[in-house]
């Protein structure tokens, strides 16, 4: 898609520190990493949200994400990884992308800075569960 920086990276028109370039997607270093080695994985086709990813592309795309999560941990000697995706809200580039962030114990990252809450009671929790299940 014209004007999309991630499409430009996929096409080789925009420079990036590539980690993987495969039929199922392209992975490259985030230019503003949470921690050094923070990788973004994008599908080759321009899609904005996970909901737009065709079912036939899911296995290959998420297999690549899984492989990157293992490679980031192994290659960097990280204690683990944080794998995340935003859909619309907080999506700085409107192209589907998955973050693979290396983690180490005591690195200071606290739940990716998400405020945590509690349900008022089990009834409220069940109501939310039911609404999501009904939407499936």
Catalytic sites, residue numbers:
97
Domains recognised in the chain with CATH numbers:
5-104 (3.30.428.10)
Tens digit of each residue's pLDDT, the chain (136 residues): 789 999 999 999 999 999 999 999 999 999 989 888 999 999 999 999 999 999 999 999 999 999 999 999 999 999 999 999 999 888 889 999 999 998 999 888 876 565 566 889 999 877 876 787 787 6
CA-based torsion, 36, 103, 65, 47: positive or negative: negative
CA-based torsion, 78, 82, 88, 90: positive or negative: negative
Report the pLDDT value the prediction gives residue 116, as an integer from 0 to 100.
61
Token pair of 42 as six digits: 């994008």
Please tell me the pTM assigned to this model.
0.85
The CB density around residue 88, as the number of other CB atoms within 10 Å, is 9
Query: Can you list the positions of beta strands (E) in 90-133?
Result: 98-103
């Amino acid at each position: 898609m014209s004007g999309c920086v991630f499409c430009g990276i996929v096409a080789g028109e925009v420079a990036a520190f590539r980690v993987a370039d495969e039929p199922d997607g392209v992975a490259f270093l985030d230019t503003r990493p949470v921690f050094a080695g923070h990788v973004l994985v994008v599908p080759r086709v321009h899609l904005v949200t996970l909901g737009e990813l065709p079912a036939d592309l899911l296995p290959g795309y998420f297999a690549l994400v899984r492989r990157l999560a293992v490679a980031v941990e192994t290659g960097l000697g990280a204690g683990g990884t944080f794998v995340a995706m935003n859909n619309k809200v907080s999506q700085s580039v409107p192209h589907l992308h998955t973050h693979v962030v290396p983690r180490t114990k005591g690195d200071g990252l606290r739940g990716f800075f998400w405020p945590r809450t509690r349900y008022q009671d089990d009834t409220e929790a069940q109501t939310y569960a039911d609404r999501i299940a009904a939407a499936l």
